[in-house]
Structure 1
């Protein structure tokens, strides 16, 4: 009976903590509610486990409601563009458009961003397209988003294994995006201004 009571209390405390974190995250949507467009400085860090030093580049992030955004680096030679559901990556001037599983991954990220950055939540329930985990450390809250890909073959072809959105809950600001790849490789985008 004592174990059952301890499990019950632990479950209540976990649910209370999760609700508090979700409330903190909703404050972000309130902060960006009336903003139709914004631009911020972004630092991109590309980490490859096989390379000794990370590649760090400074650029700009632009967001326009409801679903247009792009990041630009190296005077436009490197870009990540989201334009009405079309996701384009440009690396060293070479353009590629996300298709198939990669496109689905970016769609999941778009659903989450729309829920965070606007007062109008997407008609798609986030839980239908991704597993989400919320962790808090100090003033930072991290949402780990793992797209649900039921097909094992498609899952192996995924470009990213998960996304991590970082939010400063004290200032209700979106602070970073990390795109985790297979192994220990990732690309981190840190926002300021």
Structure 2
């Protein structure tokens, strides 16, 4: 991390993808020893959903671990915590450069990111399949991600931005995921019915 022209290197970076895969392997091992594995549609969807959540965590957060001495030097160099002003309060600012490839990539990526979230939840849990519930889920999931990035950046554990654009675009993506579920429900009702059955 760069503070006042000085680069501070972590001794370890914790990546959610590695942690998530490790936990999944342990859970699968425990499951195979205590239950008869049944790889039906619902259980396959659950595994895909768990892997998706892990990938989202990987894309949005990582945690840098420093030695106590290095961390203390960082805090002293920054004169305390909160060195980075990492809040974007202007949700329409990035659209001024919407014609650039970088802006388009960011916007599309933010929208797509939470599409699978609401789709999987609606497929797996019938009672959750409503527009209001999916709006709340998408909004608060994105808010949690942005807030965690802000907190980690405040304490120099990573350097990310709390961006209102991300919040709006993620929420839109969640609503599109619900729309995708409605489309699949109408075109493949048997698939949705079997996936939502409790096993």
Q: Which one has a bigger Cα radius of gyration? A: 2
More strand by share: 1
Would you call these one fold, judging by a TM-score over 0.5?
Answer: no
TM-score by length of 2: 0.28
More helix by share: 2
Of structures 1 and 2, the one scoring higher in RCO (CA 8 A, sep 6+) is 2
